[in-house]
Amino acid sequence: MNRKQKKTLIRIIVSGVLLIAARLCPFEGWLSLAAYAVPYVVIGWDVLWKAARNIAHGQVFDENFLMSLATVGAFATGEYPEAVAVMLFYQIGELFQSCAVGKSRKSIAALMDIRPDYANIEKDGQLVQVDPEEIAVGDTIVVKPGEKIPLDGIVIEGKSTIDTSALTGESVPRTVYEDSDVISGCINQSGLIKVRVTKPFGESTVAKILDLVENASSKKAKAENFIAKFARIYTPVVVISALLLAIVPPLVTGGDWWDWLHRALIFLVISCPCALVISVPLSFFGGIGGASRSGILVKGGNYLEALAAAEIIVFDKTGTLTKGVFNVTAIHPDEISESRLIELAAYAESYSVHPIAKSIIEAYGMDIDNERISSSQELSGKGVKAVIDGLEVCAGNDKLMDEIGVSWHPCHHIGTTVHVAVDGKYAGHIVISDQVKETSAQAISDLKARGISKTVMLTGDAKETGEGVAKQLGIDRAYTQLLPADKVEKVEGLLSEKTPKGRLVFVGDGINDAPVLSRADIGIAMGAMGSDAAIEAADIVLMDDDPRKIAKAIDISRKTLRIVRQNIVFALGVKLVVLLLGALGMANMWEAVFADVGVSVIAIINAMRAMRISNDKQ
C-alpha cells in the first residue's frame, strides 16, 4: 500500500469504530445526528469536496456527486446509519479499486526496472559512474557482473552471459563475446565486458520500449471508449430518473413524499457506474501488463482488442519462420573457377547489409579490398550491381538476370539461388540456405487450434524454396518471388478475403517490413531485440524470435475480451434488477450498497484475472 491508501484505510477503520459507537449509544434528536455526522465527515469529506469542486467546474454527473446526493439525502430523511454505511462501503470499494489498479500498474511498471541508473566509464584507470544520457556514440563503457547494460553497443572485450528476461520473458541467458551485439535493459550476469556504444540513450532499445509502455494506456479499445461515452449519458439519465421518481408518483397517487424520496435515494446509490468505468479499463490494463511479463509489448488496448478477432495471419518468411541465418550450401560456376565465382559475388555484395550478402562474404573468408570496387548499387528485391576491377558484376535473382538479358540456369538444390553475371555473361550461381526455426511448425499448429482460418507466407525466395517451407510448416498458402511492393499488394488482396469482423495480422521481423506492418489490421514484429524498425512500425512487439508467442498473444487478447464482456453483462444485469426493485420499494439502502460497491469489487477481482498469464490454451 502507498501512503494515500494507508491514510484511507485508517479513515475507514476510525469511521467504522465511530459508527459502531454511535449505534451503541442511545442518543436521540440532535445528539444522534451529531454522533453519526462525525464518522460521516471522517470517511466522506473528500467525496463531498470533489463533488463540490467538480460542480464548480461544470462536471456535475459523476460518482462523487451521486454518493454525496444520496448520503446527504439519507441524512435529510433521518437514515443516519445508512448514510454513513453507504459512504463507508463506497470508500472500501475505492480503496480496493486503488490497490487493484496499483497492482496492475506494477505488472507494466516492472518493465521500468530495465531503465539504467548509470554507466561506467574509465577515467585515469578508475571506473566512474555517469548518467547514460552523457555517453556519446563510439564511447566505451564497462559493465560489471550484476549490472544493467545501460546502452546498445558491441562487445569489444570480455565474455559473459546476459539475462534478457526483462525484455523477452524468457529465463534462458544468452552468451556474448567479442563482436556480439548487446542491447540496453539486459543484465550482465557472469563476466566483466567492455562495450562500444552504437546508439545514444534517447535512441536505445530501452528508451524506445519505455516510451512504448508509458504511452500504451493512451490508445483506448472500442469497449473502453464505449463505456466512457455510456457513463456520460447514463449518469445524468439516472439522476433525472431519480428526481422524477421522487416527485411524480406522490403527485399522481398522493403517496408519502418521504417514502418516494427514500426510493429515489436508493435508486441513486444503485445507479453509480463505478463497476463499469473502472473494471473495463482495468481489464485491458491488466491484459497489457500480463503480456509484457511474457515479452509481448502491446501498444494499446485497441490493438489487444483487435487481436482477439484475428482471422488471417500472414508471415514474412526470413527471420520470422526461419532463423535468418544464411549459409552457402552450393557453388556452381559456369566457365570460371569456383573460387573466382565466390570472390566476385563477395565483392559485389560487400556494401549490402542483407543477410544473404553477409553469408556470401563469410563464405569467401578473405578481406575485401574496397579500392577494387569502382561503384556499387543495390537493386531492391533483385540483387546488386557493381564494377569490380573494371568488370560489371551483377549478383541476384532470376529477375535481375532477365532484366539484364542474361540466360541463367535453374538449380536443383533447395535454397535461395544467387546468380552471377560478369560483363553480360552468365558466370554461375551460389545457393544459400536458411534454416527453419524448430518452433515454427508448432506455432502454425497452435494458431490453427485457435480457429485461425488462413495462414499465408510471403517471401522473395524462389517458388520451389518458398513452397517447400510452407508445406513443411503446414501453411495454407505461399506467395513467392515477391518484391517489397508486391508484399503490400498481396496483403491488400488478402484484406478483401476476411469477414467484416475479422482481422488480418501481418508478422515480420521488422527489417524492411514497415510498409506491410502498417497496412495490415495488426502488425506484429518479432525478434525485435535491438530492431528500431520493429518497435516503431508494429502495433505489437514480440521481444524474442519464438513464433509460438503469437498464439499466446491471441490467448491473452481473447481472455481479456471475455473478462470485459463478463464485467459489462454482470454489472449492468445486477444494476438493472436492483434498480427495478428500488423503484418498486423492494430494495433497501444496504442492497443498494451491494449493487454499487459489491458489484464493483467483484468486477475488479474478475478484471485482475487478466494479469494472470498461463501457458495453457485459453
C-alpha cell at 131: 548518467
- Say if residues 348 and 393 touch (Cβ distance below 8 Å): yes
CA-CA distance, 401 to 124, in Å (whole number)?
58
CA-CA distance, 501 to 449, in Å (whole number)?
20
Closest CA to 132 of 146, 112, 152, 113: 152
CA distances from 372 to 337, 357, 387 (A): 19, 18, 8
Q: Is 391 exposed, middle or buried (0-12, 13-18, 19+ CB in 10 A)?
A: middle
The beta strand positions in 40-125, using DSSP E, are 119-123
CA-CA distance, 35 to 258, in Å (whole number)?
23
- Say if residues 210 and 132 touch (Cβ distance below 8 Å): no
Name the DSSP letter for residue 148.
B
C-alpha cell at 197: 556504444
Encoded amino acid at 120, one letter: N
Close Cβ partners of 196 (under 8 Å, ≥ 6 residues apart): 138, 139, 140, 153, 154, 156
Backbone angles phi, psi at 20, to 5 degrees: -65, -40
152 is catalytic: no
Residue tagged active-site, from 62, 152, 163, 316: 316
CA-CA distance, 367 to 494, in Å (whole number)?
45
- Say if residues 249 and 260 touch (Cβ distance below 8 Å): yes
CA distances from 302 to 218, 237, 491 (A): 10, 28, 21
CA-CA distance, 452 to 543, in Å (whole number)?
23
- Say if residues 290 and 613 touch (Cβ distance below 8 Å): yes
CA-CA distance, 461 to 615, in Å (whole number)?
34
CA-CA distance, 550 to 540, in Å (whole number)?
10
CA-CA distance, 33 to 26, in Å (whole number)?
12
Length of the chain: 618
Name the DSSP letter for residue 190.
S
Crossing angle of helices 63-76 and 222-253, in 10° steps, is 20
CA distances from 148 to 120, 156, 186, 207, 363 (A): 11, 17, 6, 14, 36
CA-CA distance, 461 to 484, in Å (whole number)?
12
C-alpha cell at 154: 558491441
Q: Which residues are catalytic?
A: 316
